[in-house]
Amino acid sequence: MINFNYETAFRLKEEDRISAWISGVIDSEGFKEDEVNYIFCDDEYLHKINVEFLNHDTLTDIISFDYTVGKIIQGDVFISIERVVENANDFEVPFDEELRRVMVHGVLHYCGYKDKSDEDASLMRDKENHYLNAFV
């Protein structure tokens, strides 16, 4: 089950469509969906989580907590809408596209993809692009 939670005034458009898309990503990667919670928030909210749980005193667009067991996907994905807006402007892409990229990025981490090395980051970006193109 994909759940959407809001700690800010932002509201996701087309929750059902995006939920089905994320479920399809999980299935395509050979995993089973249990519960994935997306929490949309602002910079301040996500910064507090970053400091408290990860000891990182920086702003970020996404933090994901992975509770996956074997092939059963579970996790919490926190997304700063303020960061997504700024990134969309910086990368000159539509906000909705950047938001979907961040959303699928979190789930791909749960599927085992990493992004710390250049090679891993390149594979992650390829997967993101593949699934972004599949969003219909």
Give CA–CA dist 105/98, Å, rounded.
10
Q: Are 33 and 27 in contact (CB under 8 A)?
A: yes
Other CB atoms within a 10 A radius of the CB of residue 88 amount to 18
Rounded to the nearest 5 percent, the helix, strand and coil shares of the chain are: 50, 20, 25
Is 47 known to sit in a ligand binding site? no
- Token pair listed for 63: 């933090």
Q: Are 41 and 7 in contact (CB under 8 A)?
A: yes
Is 56 known to sit in a ligand binding site? no
Binding-site annotation: residue ranges for Zn(2+): 105, 109, 115
The binding site consists of 105, 109, 115
